[in-house]
Amino acid sequence: MRLVRNDKPSERNTAAKVHAIGLGMKALAVTEYAYFGNLDADISFGETYFETLLTIFENDCSLGLIGGWIFQKDKRGLAVQVNGSTQSVAGAVQLFRKECFDQIGGYKAIPGGMEDGVVEITARYHGWKTRSFVDLPVLHHRELGTVGRSGYSARFNSNLTEYIVGYNLTYHVVRAFYRALESPYLLGTILIISGYAYGLLSGQTKVVPQAVVKFIRREQRAKIVTFLRGKRESKGGQISYKS
């Protein structure tokens, strides 16, 4: 292992994360490798986690991005599933095939975050498969998206980011009301809708190419149709995480 340290002062945000990953990639410039990944510091997983993921990569060359299934502990100390789809790979555990990562151009610094969501979608846009695996549990020890801010501001800001990334309005509203079942319930839904509405009404500029925006919205329209037909994706049953 080799430590690559960034000694330049910077704020704790996603732009700093993207810059740090860039330094790591630069350090690997003369090294031959097949896969690239990054991990959040506040997660834990089983001893054979990476062994299993590398075997999956070796057995399916169409996979470009894979990872485990994220859990968080609720107020009762019980592990609850966070992943919403096996097609989505959380930024905390993204592992790429190098060819995929090179083709999509790596991570881009986006105001408000969501650099991990954009690379995942862009990978599918270029024809790669993205998968997370429910039988590879990963425990995240803090609510996603709350670094340096409260859960309330996280909901507002993350949904402002969803607007500038190009999320479909109908998809966003449907998802916001679906999440009304989650704490803080009605207030959370209001914050989710308000973040997107602020981006829309203030005329925020989109930060991803228009072709990728069209792809995002096409995927989301398909999800709405699937949801309305009552055929939501199976998550493969309940999994218990043992820390």
How confident is the model at residue 85, as a pLDDT?
Answer: 84
Of 44-48, 111-115, 174-178, 212-216, where does mean pLDDT reach its minimum?
174-178
Q: What is the mean pLDDT of residues 220-226?
A: 87
Over residues 67-121, the pLDDT tens digits come to 999 998 777 766 677 777 899 999 999 999 999 999 999 999 887 788 999 999 9
Neighbour count for residue 190 (Cβ, 10 Å): 15
Q: Which residues pair with 129 in a beta bridge?
A: 63
Cβ neighbours, 10 Å, residue 44:
12
**Rounded Cα distance, 125 and 212, in Å:** 7
Domains and CATH numbers, the chain: 15-144 (3.90.550.10), 146-233 (no CATH)
Write down the mean pLDDT value for the chain: 83
Tally of CB atoms within 10 A around 171: 19
Confidence of residue 239 (pLDDT cuts 50, 70, 90): very low
Say yes or no to pLDDT of 211 above 60.
yes
Are 82 and 70 a contacting pair, CB within 8 Å? Answer: yes
Q: Which structure tokens are listed for 183?
A: 């704490």
> In the structure, what pLDDT confidence band is assigned to residue 150 with cuts at 50, 70 and 90?
low
Per-residue tokens: 188:
């959370």
Q: What pLDDT is recorded for position 237? A: 37
Q: What average pLDDT does the segment 167-180 reach?
A: 81
Q: What is the pLDDT of residue 225?
A: 86
Q: Is 158 within 8 Å of 113 (Cβ atoms)?
A: yes
Give the confidence band of 59 by pLDDT, cuts at 50, 70, 90. Answer: very high
**pLDDT of 230 strictly over 80:** no
122 pLDDT higher than 70: yes
Counting Cα atoms < 13 Å in the Cβ hemisphere of 192 gives: 20
Find the range with the poorest average confidence among 21-35, 133-147, 200-214: 133-147
Q: Is the pLDDT of residue 226 over 70?
A: yes
One-letter amino acid for residue 191 of the chain: L
Pick from 220, 117, 106: which is nearest to 161 by CA? 117
pLDDT of 45 > 90? The answer is yes
